[in-house]
A and B are shown apart, each in its own frame.
Chain A
Amino acid sequence: MDWEVIFRNAILAGISREAAVYAIAAVGLNVHFGYTGLLNFGQVGFMSISAYGVGISITQYGAPVWLAFIIGLLAAVFLALLLGVPTLRLRADYLAIVTIAASEIIRLTFRSVALTDWSGGSNGINGFADGFYVWNPFDPSVAYGFGSVKVFGNQAYIIIVGWTLAVLVTLLVWLLMRSPWGRVLKSIREDEDAARALGKNAYWYKMQSLILGGVLGGLAGIVLSVGQSTVQPDVYSPPVTFFIWTALILGGVGRIWSPIFGAVAFWMILSLANNVLDQATQAGIVPAAVTAGVRGGSIRFMIVGLGLMLLMAFRPQGVFGDRNEMMLADR
């Protein structure tokens, strides 16, 4: 077992663009669930609709990069309105069901044969991200980093952009949550009827929250698609939402920095598990059949599922949360 490789990969995973993407999306989910109590089980739908918004507006309509980004984020606003209008007056479970359904609809629609000319079917859209790499200060052929932890120029660029955005949106949410606006959101999380009895338009605040968190999800999707230089429908499949949920809960729901901690921790743990399993298989400690083919991949989903259950049951406050505060939540 090569522990150096295992740990190097874990560190790379922790700082990877995927971790940054998850952090941004988890900030959005934190606005939804952590501060407002909204159950969004379709965050990946927001990611995908924005990524496609960017991809399609560049490849189909030749939009400049900045405009494409705005269109992408507006697509997330649109989705939030579409999902919020019918459901935010109803019990929270309705939003949960409708969001998970919507994320699947979006995936199926974008990958559909009927729309191939527009959204590229199951192959998705390629080659729209060039305009973004124009500003890349790094040399794509040079590896940057410390010691053996190195990434190539384009990666370094997207990692820096991704994490900068993650920190910026975290600060944005921090500004909002210390304000009376954030107080209304939290009051809705605790008891919507109490907020309404005090004259707060809970519906409208929930809508604002859904839009804000959705736009952050959209931003995450854009970063991911630009980083991959492609947007493919099946990258944005339902389990991604639950990965992000796990990252958020790992960090601690309803806390400012937890999405970032959670995303880093999530990817490091996943990488450790994967690499240890790989190495163990290679070293013959684990029989090859255990991880052969589709099995190796499914193990990681199982780990996430199990982790999500155990976290929620035994440490719902996450690694950094306050157990006492969590215990007060009487629902």
Chain B
Amino acid sequence: MNTMTADRGASKWSWRHRLLLLLLLTVTLGSLQIPAMAQDEGPELGFQGTFTNPEGEDGPTPVEGVRVEVTDADGAVVGEAVSDAEGAWTVEVTDTGEYTVTVDVESFPDDASLRNPDEPSRTLTVNPGQVRPVLFPIGEGPGPGADSGFDLRLVLQLFVEGIKLGLLIAMMAIGLSLVFGTTQLVNFAHGELISIGAVIAYFFNVTIGMHLILAAILAIIATAGASALMDLGIFRPLRKRGVGLIAQLVITIGLSLFLRYGLLYVFRGDPRSYGNYNIQRGIEIGPIVLPPKDIWSVLISIIVLVGVGLVLQRTKIGRAMRAVSDNRDLAESSGIDVQRVILIVWAVGGGLAAFGGILWGLGESVSWIMGFRLLLPIFAGVILGGIGTAYGALVGSLVVGVFIQMSTLVIPSELKNAAAMVALILILVVRPQGILGRSERVG
């Protein structure tokens, strides 16, 4: 789940690469088998691994020709291997027990090196029937200052990136909260609206060749339309037939699955980048460095959030939305066209999700699974802030964004989203109503 935001380290590509490989494997394995259960025809005992440079010229690239040596507990060399064109290597051993696996640092090509050259070896135990995976992270070595333990510059940088992420989450969360507010439905397909928006923008931008800004506008409109169609074509009829909320919730899950793999079908598995604003030199603002697109992303999210707040507070349709959220029956009896309001909520929420998806795709990359990955932090933000409190969702999202980014100070970057979920669960224990929610909603 590293796709969340601008990763500072090298792991960004490596996990994605692996995930994609697995997903490709998963879905192409086809017929009857549960994904990825093909078994290696390799050795029965030993070690294996793959050298991949996550920062290769064209994304992750395998590193060929790296020598690996395995010695037993007595220091005797029991086997060695050289990584092949896929970067893979295998060493077979004859017996279980403890071995030391050492990488020959000198054998790396010029454009790759061990991320931690001081640790070229691992001592591991081979258990019966086990081919032990061994991982040596590759990439740039630790940067200057990494040894100092606490790096104020890094903390600030992560904080700002967390704010940026939090604002994006808040923007994408609006649709989810509004739909929940007006219909009490938790829409699990909301993440796919994010992906759809980003993918449509990619289509206009890269496939057709429009400028990204124009492409984004069209994509937002198209996604808002698609979102409205979901309400019109699926959920409004379900409401009319009196289908229960839980049934509707399961339907959103089915819809999410359908759309997500529909995106995989048309967009394929590899993450891609937009054609504009792709490579930007970072601007130094005091101690932190941000590319202009990140600064724009922050500004745009703030403008959108303030705009939505104003619409909700000041305009007729905004007041109608709040009225429907407060009390649907009362709103209906006072002459508000509730179904129309709900339709608009879907459209607006879808458009904002698309907007957020495009901004996120600009900062990271566009992929079919991005929305699903973003959905969990969005849920976390909304719940953290307290469901049904508008400002709570904003605060919750900011907290989640900052938490996700800052957590990488202490835990591996690959686990930062997991950490956010754990924090969510902990907060539910202590304060189930969320940060800004009032206590009475819990019975």
A122, B24: Cβ atoms under 8 Å? no
B130, A105: Cβ atoms under 8 Å? no
Report if A286 contacts B (CB, 8 A).
no
Report if A94 contacts B (CB, 8 A).
yes
Report if A13 contacts B (CB, 8 A).
yes
Near A by CB (< 8 A), chain B positions 253-298 give 253-262, 264-265, 268-269
Contacts A39-B246, A113-B412 given: A298-B421 contact, CB under 8 Å?
no
Q: What are 27 sample pairs from A and B whose C-beta atoms fall under 8 A apart?
A: A41-B188, A97-B383, A98-B424, A104-B418, A109-B418, A113-B414, A126-B129, A127-B131, A224-B34, A229-B39, A234-B19, A234-B22, A234-B23, A242-B257, A274-B30, A274-B31, A275-B31, A293-B24, A295-B265, A296-B28, A297-B27, A302-B261, A305-B259, A308-B251, A308-B257, A312-B250, A331-B246
B33, A98: Cβ atoms under 8 Å? no
| Number of interface residues, chain B, beta carbon within 8 A | 80
Which residue of chain B has the shortest Cβ distance to A102 in the bound complex? B421
Report if B432 contacts A (CB, 8 A).
yes
A117 to B246, CA, bound (A): 41
**A residues less than 8 Å from B29 (CB atoms):** 297
B31, A278: Cβ atoms under 8 Å? yes
A108, B27: Cβ atoms under 8 Å? no
B31, A94: Cβ atoms under 8 Å? no
Q: Indicate which residue in B250, B265, B422, B429 contacts A308 across the interface (CB closer than 8 Å).
A: B250
Near B by CB (< 8 A), chain A positions 94-130 give 94, 96-98, 100-102, 104-105, 108-109, 112-114, 116-117, 120-123, 125-128, 130
**A residues less than 8 Å from B429 (CB atoms):** 85-86
Interface membership of chain A positions 226-240, coded 1 if the CB is closer than 8 angstroms to chain B and 0 otherwise: 001110101101111
Report if A74 contacts B (CB, 8 A).
no
Q: Indicate which residue in A18, A89, A96, A309 contacts B258 across the interface (CB closer than 8 Å).
A: A309
B127, A98: Cβ atoms under 8 Å? no
B27, A121: Cβ atoms under 8 Å? no
A9 to B255, CA, bound (A): 28
Q: Indicate which residue in B128, B245, B260 contacts A301 across the interface (CB closer than 8 Å).
A: B260
Report if A329 contacts B (CB, 8 A).
yes
Interface membership of chain A positions 267-280, coded 1 if the CB is closer than 8 angstroms to chain B and 0 otherwise: 10011001100100
A316 to B128, CA, bound (A): 48
Contacts A126-B131, A127-B129, A127-B130 given: A112-B415 contact, CB under 8 Å?
yes
Report if A313 contacts B (CB, 8 A).
yes
Report if B436 contacts A (CB, 8 A).
no
A298, B250: Cβ atoms under 8 Å? no
A235, B376: Cβ atoms under 8 Å? no
Report if B26 contacts A (CB, 8 A).
yes
Which residue of chain B has the shortest Cβ distance to A193 in the bound complex? B443
- In the complex, what's the smallest C-beta–C-beta distance from A279 to chain B, in angstroms? 11
Near A by CB (< 8 A), chain B positions 380-417 give 380, 383, 411-412, 414-415, 417
- Name the residue in B28, B268, B442 with the highest tally of chain A Cβ atoms < 10 Å from its Cβ: B28
A127 to B43, CA, bound (A): 12
Contacts A239-B257, A298-B265 given: A234-B432 contact, CB under 8 Å?
no
A297, B30: Cβ atoms under 8 Å? yes
Residues on A lying within 8 angstroms of B by beta carbon are 9, 12-13, 16, 18, 21, 37, 39, 41, 58-60, 62, 82-83, 85-87, 89-90, 92-94, 96-98, 100-102, 104-105, 108-109, 112-114, 116-117, 120-123, 125-128, 130, 224, 228-230, 232, 234-235, 237-240, 242, 245-246, 249, 267, 270-271, 274-275, 278, 293-302, 304-310, 312-313, 316, 329-331
B238, A83: Cβ atoms under 8 Å? no
**A residues less than 8 Å from B411 (CB atoms):** 114
Secondary structure at the A interface, as helix, strand, loop or mixed, is helix
Contacts A39-B249, A86-B429, A245-B253 given: A97-B186 contact, CB under 8 Å?
yes
- In the complex, what's the smallest C-beta–C-beta distance from A58 to chain B, in angstroms? 8
B34, A301: Cβ atoms under 8 Å? no
B262, A89: Cβ atoms under 8 Å? no
A68 to B263, CA, bound (A): 41
Q: Indicate which residue in B1, B137, B243, B426 contacts A113 across the interface (CB closer than 8 Å).
A: B137
**A residues less than 8 Å from B269 (CB atoms):** 294
**A residues less than 8 Å from B412 (CB atoms):** 112-114
B37, A108: Cβ atoms under 8 Å? no
A184 to B421, CA, bound (A): 32
B37, A298: Cβ atoms under 8 Å? no
A87 to B383, CA, bound (A): 12
A295 to B131, CA, bound (A): 32
**B residues less than 8 Å from A304 (CB atoms):** 254, 257
**B residues less than 8 Å from A330 (CB atoms):** 244
**B residues less than 8 Å from A331 (CB atoms):** 244-246
Report if B379 contacts A (CB, 8 A).
yes
Contacts A112-B412, A309-B254 given: A299-B31 contact, CB under 8 Å?
no
**A residues less than 8 Å from B415 (CB atoms):** 108-109, 112, 114
Near A by CB (< 8 A), chain B positions 92-138 give 124, 127-135, 137
**A residues less than 8 Å from B417 (CB atoms):** 104, 108
- In the complex, what's the smallest C-beta–C-beta distance from B25 to chain A, in angstroms? 8
B414, A86: Cβ atoms under 8 Å? no
